[in-house]
Amino acid sequence: MSSFAPARLLHRALVAVAMVLVVVPSPTDAQRTQKPVLHGSHWMAITGKPLGATAGARMFHQGGNAVDAAAAMLGATSTMWDVLSWGGETQALIYNPNTGKVIGLNALGVAPTGATADHYRDAGHEFPPELGPLAAVTPGTPGGLMTMLAEWGSMSLAEVLAPAIEMTEGYPIEGDAVRRIRGSQAEIRQWPSSTKVYFTHPDDPEDPGPREGEIFRQPDLKRTLERLVAAEAGALAAGKNRSEAIYAAYDAFYGGDIGADFVRGAREAGALITLEDLENWKVHIEEPVSTSYKGIDVYKLTTWVQGPVMLQALNMVEQLDVAAMGFNSANYLHALYQVMNLSFADRDFYYGDPYYPPEEPVEGLLSKDYARARLGEIDWERNDPDAGPGDPYRFQEGDNPFTHYLEQWGTRKAVTTTEQGASLSSLDTRAIDHEALDEDFYAGTTSIQAADREGWVVSITPSGGWIPAVLADGTGIGLSQRAQSFVLDPADNPYNVIEPGKRPRATLTPSMALKDGKPFLSFAVQGGDGQDQNLLQFFLNVVEWDMNVQQAVEAPNMNSFQMRGSFGMHESRPGRMLLQDATPPWVRTSLEGMGYDLTFADRTSGPINAIFFDWAQGSFWGGSSHHGDDYGIAW
């Protein structure tokens, strides 16, 4: 055990090991998983829906690479409303075998003209709204898809969008989308442009939406996608090459006739987006941030999403003897919760759009020395409901410009059910609708994983424009709701205050790991603020607990709710912990004694999708969680 934990904690951990071993999945017993490992040697395609995975497989069968397949899956899942639509945002990590480098793709939309903190405050908002036209940022998914295809794909836009266009003509809608429409009728009725698409049975006042398996048609979206393909075809006819022709379609959306129609429809619905906002927006191709965990290089996108949280957590966990604690023992779960308390508190204060000042202290946040200092703050006996941001500027050049806000950190509103939390005089405690808060906590996102034998690897977590979305009339495109992840008060996060042209700090966090310079894992999950919690535990399941990739995605997770949420009213619930139903009673009792408010569920993560690269045998191992409709196909 690390010197950061007292000897009595080590003794308690060792005593508990024998008892908790009964809940450790055996890495050699595949029958313990509800889905089998997905094996392949040529290619692999995994995403949030079976039909989406089929779209990726089609590209591989037609000779495409992993980027082509990922783009086709992105188009298909956006068309299927798989917790996203075409007006949402796309974040990707791409491993380029020709350079041996991991590339970051930033296709997150920006706050539109007029979206200032004063605008929202004057309208009576404490944060930008969760739903409706004022929650919209500019669309990022069309640009992200076309950029990755133009830069690293091998196929045409027409080929890659063919499955999505076929789906707009009619596909059997799946139960998840049906349930979302049914549960959002009141919101959808506010927006006539949305009722025209979502309400396929308008004469049924009780259930106007589609039925599961019904052929769901989207003629407006079909015309929009066909116009993109037509723009590409026109450029090819004019002598442009493949990449240039795809960018011609990009230009048609971001500033051309397609974009003008989108802006008209969005503004008619009440959105602030202008054509100039589309013209000024661009995709950023970036170098991701990374850390090394016991010789494995882990890559994430930087502070415009929450990805560095997992890197900060790994820097702390690396300094602990997790094996001595025992898998999912009370001590292990407590250690992870406390590490995440500190990492997420830093996220909540220091993360924001790196293309806008002030500059985020990334070097200090990812410093191993900073991690060591943060570990020294942990109470190894009890949860710390007051855990707050640290000062990473002490571990890099420059002074912290916001120490006055750090001193005010404990005054934010929060909800709590723990005795510890209730005693915090700085917190406003009140009645809690946990079901509604949980829905916000896990809001949005699907995930896409693709790999091929040429060495291309793609990890994407697209999101935004989920049901119930406001649709830009005549286009079939649902507007993103991502503006809600901004704050209005710099005391809440001075790096993430809304202003026109700025990206909100999103939760979306694709992941990739390299070992000995070669792909080791590609992984992602849906689930809002739960994403990097679940991915941290998935990674440790593989690296520390010797699970295969399918066991690792199905293994029980712990979820913390202590961070400030990224949705709705940005609530914090200090001490609340979600555990799997089968958690042994002695673990429950120990955690309650540490001050945790425990809740339980059969499944305790969003659907994790992942690929493990077996270089010794020359094959891929795919994992797709049993939580959700996620599905993989391989060859």
Residue 312 has pLDDT above 60, yes or no: yes
Looking at the structure, tell me whether residues 75 and 193 fall in a common domain: yes
List the helix and strand counts (H, then E) for the chain: 24, 21
User: CATH number of the domain that 341 lies in?
Assistant: 1.10.246.130
The angle that helices 7-20 and 330-350 make with each other, rounded to 10 degrees, is 120
Residue 16 has pLDDT above 80, yes or no: no
CA gap 309, 462 in Å, rounded? 19
* Domain assignment present for 578: yes
Which residue, 86, 473, 111, 120, is CA-closest to 267? 473
* Domain assignment present for 136: yes
Looking at 4-8, 321-325, 385-389, 540-544, which range is the least confident one?
4-8
* Cα 239–chain centre separation: 39
Looking at the structure, tell me whether residues 413 and 305 fall in a common domain: yes
User: Phi/psi of residue 251, each to 5°?
Assistant: -65, -30
Looking at 201-205, 212-216, 412-416, 477-481, which range is the least confident one?
412-416
* Domain assignment present for 616: no
* Domain assignment present for 104: no
Domain total in the chain: 2
Owning domain of residue 205: 48-88+112-278+457-485
* Domain assignment present for 493: no
Q: Strands 597-601 and 576-580: what pairing?
A: parallel
Looking at the structure, tell me whether residues 52 and 127 fall in a common domain: yes
Looking at the structure, tell me whether residues 213 and 337 fall in a common domain: no
Looking at the structure, tell me whether residues 366 and 479 fall in a common domain: no
Looking at the structure, tell me whether residues 159 and 71 fall in a common domain: yes
Q: Is the C-alpha dihedral spanning 258, 264, 270, 273 positive or negative?
A: positive
Looking at the structure, tell me whether residues 19 and 167 fall in a common domain: no
* Domain assignment present for 186: yes
Which residue, 264, 284, 282, is CA-closest to 273? 264
pLDDT digits (tens, 9 = 90+) for 66-115: 999 999 999 999 999 999 999 999 999 999 999 999 999 999 999 999 99
* Domain assignment present for 476: yes
* Domain assignment present for 262: yes
What pTM value is reported for the model?
0.92
Looking at the structure, tell me whether residues 397 and 476 fall in a common domain: no
Looking at the structure, tell me whether residues 240 and 155 fall in a common domain: yes
Q: Are 186 and 231 in contact (CB under 8 A)?
A: no
Looking at the structure, tell me whether residues 337 and 299 fall in a common domain: yes
| Rounded alpha-carbon distances, angstroms, from residue 72 to 66, 232, 326, 421 | 10, 16, 42, 47
- What one-character-per-residue DSSP string does 523-562 give? EEE--GGGHHHHHHHHHHHHHTT---HHHHHHS---EE--
Looking at the structure, tell me whether residues 555 and 586 fall in a common domain: yes
Percent of the chain residues past pLDDT 90, beyond the cut: 86
**Mean pLDDT for the stretch of residues 328-347:** 98
Looking at the structure, tell me whether residues 267 and 315 fall in a common domain: no
Q: What is the pLDDT of residue 398?
A: 95
Which residue, 560, 45, 474, 32, is CA-closest to 222? 474
